[in-house]
Structure 1
Amino acid sequence: MFIFFNSLKQQNKSFFWFIVHVLLGASATISAFPMIIFFYVALGYSFINLFTINAAERPRLIAEIIIYFASFEALGRLAESDPFIPYELGKYILLFLCPLGILLSRNQTAKGMIGLVILILSIPAVMFDESNQVSFNDIKFNLLGLLNIGVAIWFFSTLNLKLKTLISWSKPLVYPIISVLIFTIIRTPNLDEVEFTLGANFATAGGFGSNQVSTILGLGVFVIAVAILLNYRISGYKWLDGILLGLFTIQGLLTFSRGGMIGGFIAIFVVMFYLTKLSVKERMALRIPNFKKFILPVGILLFIVMMAANLITGGMLLLRYMGETQGTLTGSAEKNLNKITTNRSDIFMEDVDLFLDHSMLGVGVGASTYMRDEYKGYAPHVELSRLIAEHGLLGLIIFSLFIVVYFLNKGYAPESISKGILIALFLLGFLATFHSATRTYITPLLMGISCVNIGTMAKRKKTNRKKGNAKGNSIAVNRFKLQTADTEENLPA
């Protein structure tokens, strides 16, 4: 039987699926219905696949369904397809499918139990409201993201994957984001007509929230850049992937929302750092070229793109990334942390004050918006401050558990390339909480994916007990060879 996700990941069909998603993004600028029809046909067929494949493969397929269809959230928002494709589609998919995956997987890990603890600790703050103004929508808006993080960590930590499978997930993750890129490019007016100021730009973000679009495009930059470094074709052609990287970068920069793009660049540098730790034998086993030869051309490409974007904006882009505002340029306002962070630092400090006044259990989910002084009515933008203000000490514990998950991911990854990818995914999702809270599916999804186990935990523990570092590296190379010999997909084209 035809398996949708096997086709989606096959290298010889990369260009076909690339074109399909380009057309989805283009058609969505005219009508949302082609995208809606495709979404439900593909989703329905994927569930048919779920009941026809081997039971042992079902948890992995559920993960791929989550990754791919949650990624349609951004395109759905841009195309205004709600309620056919719900505004918070990614959160609903994660919340309903992760528990199903947990039931089917029946594999419990220490990281999974951390996800369960996060879920339990998030509940008390739902039961009271110090502001007496919180609505059901407030609770849903602020709590679903946190619940998603818990269930995503729990479910994805049950999966034991080959490194090749993890890398192949870049396609279902980025294809819908390519549709977003095409949508924003088409919807962007003639750049000569766009007035660039020192604030977020909605015109270059497809008419939607530039912060969220920047976060999505930043993820696209990361996925395409890492695919190039690993000699993996997203579109089927290396030159086309290079063009995609340039388009993602320039469109993301032109949104003038900095957090998503900065996060994407940081994640790329993390992967590059860990790639430098690969031995020659490991690179040969993975058929990964010496990535150092890509540094200069990729660096030149990004420099040219950034300079072109700065020229297009009349020099405003560079000033924006330097934290300048109209007020700081004219001298009517002082350049400080609050100006640089677009009021986020002051909102953060007001949330800290709420925490100090309600340290035990916080003010209740959604109540911080109504209880600040100067920034009353502003939705939280930093998940850390929202957690401590609305959940009190339990929120502080939850945030601490995020850090624990990071170190567990770092400690259990079997070798450099796996460690680099998993850490980068976690950081990209985690950093998004400091400028977008949990507004998008990206934070729970990426933090969840970062918890997968590359190889089985038992094999790693056994290897660590019996072998020294030198022999451990040899075993890692052998594992690489086994992975690349797998016939499911020829990873590097």
Structure 2
Amino acid sequence: MIRIVLSPGFKKAQQVFLACAYFAGAEVLFRMTDGAIAYEASKYLVILFMLLGMFFKGINGKGYPYFLYLILLVPSILMASTTLSFFANFRTNIAFVLSGPVCLGIAALFCYDRKVTNKQLLDIVMYVSLPIISMTVYLFLYNPSIKDTLSGTASNGAMSGGFGPNQVSTALGLGMFAMVVRLFMKSPTLFLRVLNIVVLGGMTFRAIVTFSRGGVVAAVIVIAAFLGSLFYRSSYRMKNQILVSFVLMCITIAITWMISSDQTMGLIDKRYANENAQGIKKKDITTGRIDLFKEEIDGFLGSPFLGIGASRVKDIRVENSGTSLPSHNEIGRLLSEHGLLGIVIIMILIIKPMGYRTSNKRNYFFYAFLAFWFATINHSGMRIAAPGLLYAFALLNVVPEAYYRKSLKKAVKKP
């Protein structure tokens, strides 16, 4: 925060982005090690840094749909004040479900059409990866022996640093994407290429052995979106280099999978084949998420106009079954808890960036960032800051280095 305040005006936005990227990448590590001041601290810090950026640099008026998006979140709080049960903690329940969406809205407001260069964007991706590398090392130290902690084909907390496998898998999937970016765009020497491949292999291994498929599948989708954009926009010579790196990446992932299969004694193969430890096919590939989504749709049908109120879905599950399962699907939660306003929110989140893309096609990571947001909110909701922040980064205006330097000179010359 000190660097944001004290840095020159033309550097403030980048300092905001780097700070947000680092704390978003570190969020799960802080949670699993009890290193954060509060459970939602990283989201609050991202909001704080973005608000500081707005104070110093302002916002683009064309991003007004995200201001409307934030306003549309308010009615669900008012509804919750009348629908939440007496024993529910109003403040913590509201903060749990709305801190992620608010984080996305604030970040999108500040990032919309904010100018950055490709080099700055790569630095942002690097800052996301640094704490995830630390988390990977922590996981190897916390759980060095995979075979000693096997417990079937269900998600495994012991292999996830003693924390929720879903969130750990999501963070590691984000790290895998960041390391693929480093491999393809920031590996000018053989040493760096080998180093990035080794780190990518380590992250992939730890993501696979959490037995939580969501983060790994999301990583595959995001990496495919990034490589597709990169390959499409590259010259013939660059395409040949991309193909070489792609072959190395595939070999690395194949070797990592074989090691994972050996260390888990074939259970990981059954997990991804949707089988239990005995090899019997499971009926539900989503491990109960479809049932949760159906409950959320029932909530929408029961109160379609203003919804049932923020966090009411979780409250209903406590009343009916005694379990406090939170929403895993943000789309279903928006529909049930916000009603028709939730449909408007979803339309804003999808249509606005696509409209922006028509006039700004220089961001290599646009589809990758949006893919991470969409894939993550459909299996893990918005429990961490990363999907909302990467959504906002998709709205950045990537400009050529020469244009940025020219703008910089003008800014420095101003009295």
TM-score (norm 2): 0.90
Q: Pick from 72, 83, 94: which aligns with 2:26?
A: 72
8 Å contact from structure 1 (residues 70, 94) kept in 2: yes
Partner of 2:252: 301
Q: What's the offset of the Cα at 1:315?
A: 1.2
Partner of 1:57: 11
- Tell whether 2:68 aligns with 1:125: no
The AA in structure 2 aligned to 1:268 is I
* Structure 1 runs not aligned, ≥5 long: 1-46, 456-478, 488-493
8 Å contact from structure 2 (residues 147, 264) kept in 1: no
Judged with a 3 Å threshold, the aligned counterparts in structure 2 of structure 1 residues 63 and 297 are, in CA distance, closer, same or farther, namely: closer
The AA in structure 1 aligned to 2:49 is L
8 Å contact from structure 2 (residues 58, 110) kept in 1: no
The SS at the match of 1:324 is coil
Q: Pick from 260, 266, 279: which aligns with 1:315?
A: 266
Higher relative contact order (CA 8 A, sep 6+): 2
Q: Pick from 52, 73, 91: which aligns with 2:43?
A: 91
Judged with a 3 Å threshold, the aligned counterparts in structure 2 of structure 1 residues 367 and 304 are, in CA distance, closer, same or farther, namely: same
Provide the C-alpha distance between the structure 1 equivalents of 2:205 and 2:40, rounded to a whole number of angstroms. Answer: 27
Provide the C-alpha distance between the structure 1 equivalents of 2:76 and 2:262, rounded to a whole number of angstroms. Answer: 49
Partner of 2:411: none
Judged with a 3 Å threshold, the aligned counterparts in structure 2 of structure 1 residues 70 and 233 are, in CA distance, closer, same or farther, namely: farther
Judged with a 3 Å threshold, the aligned counterparts in structure 2 of structure 1 residues 236 and 411 are, in CA distance, closer, same or farther, namely: farther
Q: What's the offset of the Cα at 1:191?
A: 2.1
Partner of 2:175: 220
- Tell whether 2:222 aligns with 1:267: yes
**The 10-residue stretch of structure 1 (380-389 or 59-68) with the greater mean CA deviation from structure 2:** 59-68
Judged with a 3 Å threshold, the aligned counterparts in structure 2 of structure 1 residues 82 and 106 are, in CA distance, closer, same or farther, namely: closer
- Tell whether 2:146 aligns with 1:191: yes
**The 10-residue stretch of structure 1 (138-147 or 231-240) with the greater mean CA deviation from structure 2:** 231-240
Judged with a 3 Å threshold, the aligned counterparts in structure 2 of structure 1 residues 93 and 310 are, in CA distance, closer, same or farther, namely: same
Provide the C-alpha distance between the structure 2 equivalents of 1:480 and 1:97, rounded to a whole number of angstroms. Answer: 25
Judged with a 3 Å threshold, the aligned counterparts in structure 2 of structure 1 residues 484 and 245 are, in CA distance, closer, same or farther, namely: farther
Judged with a 3 Å threshold, the aligned counterparts in structure 2 of structure 1 residues 485 and 320 are, in CA distance, closer, same or farther, namely: farther
Q: What's the offset of the Cα at 1:371?
A: 2.2
Q: What's the offset of the Cα at 1:342?
A: 1.1
The SS at the match of 2:233 is coil
The SS at the match of 1:276 is helix
What do residues 95-154 of structure 1 show as CA deviations (whole Å, max 9, x unaligned)?
Answer: 2221221222224143x2122111100001101232434422111101111111111111
TM-score (norm 1): 0.76
Partner of 1:476: none
Partner of 2:54: 102
The AA in structure 2 aligned to 1:358 is S
Provide the C-alpha distance between the structure 2 equivalents of 1:441 and 1:370, rounded to a whole number of angstroms. Answer: 23
Provide the C-alpha distance between the structure 2 equivalents of 1:240 and 1:379, rounded to a whole number of angstroms. Answer: 38
Provide the C-alpha distance between the structure 2 equivalents of 1:486 and 1:181, rounded to a whole number of angstroms. Answer: 40
Equivalent runs, 1:26-425 vs 2, <5 Å: 47-83=1-37, 86-110=38-62, 112-129=63-80, 130-133=83-86, 134-135=88-89, 136-232=91-187, 237-280=192-235, 290-325=241-276, 329-330=279-280, 335-336=282-283, 339-372=284-317, 373=320, 377-415=324-362, 418-419=363-364, 421-425=365-369
8 Å contact from structure 1 (residues 145, 439) kept in 2: yes
8 Å contact from structure 2 (residues 24, 384) kept in 1: no
The AA in structure 2 aligned to 1:353 is D
Provide the C-alpha distance between the structure 2 equivalents of 1:483 and 1:272, rounded to a whole number of angstroms. Answer: 25
Partner of 2:387: 443
The AA in structure 2 aligned to 1:367 is R
8 Å contact from structure 2 (residues 307, 338) kept in 1: yes
What do residues 63-99 of structure 1 show as CA deviations (whole Å, max 9, x unaligned)?
Answer: 222212333222211211243xx22122111222212
Provide the C-alpha distance between the structure 2 equivalents of 1:376 and 1:355, rounded to a whole number of angstroms. Answer: 21
Provide the C-alpha distance between the structure 2 equivalents of 1:124 and 1:256, rounded to a whole number of angstroms. Answer: 38
Aligned pair count reads: 402
* Same amino acid, percent of matched pairs: 27
Provide the C-alpha distance between the structure 2 equivalents of 1:432 and 1:141, rounded to a whole number of angstroms. Answer: 17
Q: What's the offset of the Cα at 1:481?
A: 7.3
8 Å contact from structure 1 (residues 227, 234) kept in 2: no
Provide the C-alpha distance between the structure 1 equivalents of 2:352 and 2:305, rounded to a whole number of angstroms. Answer: 24
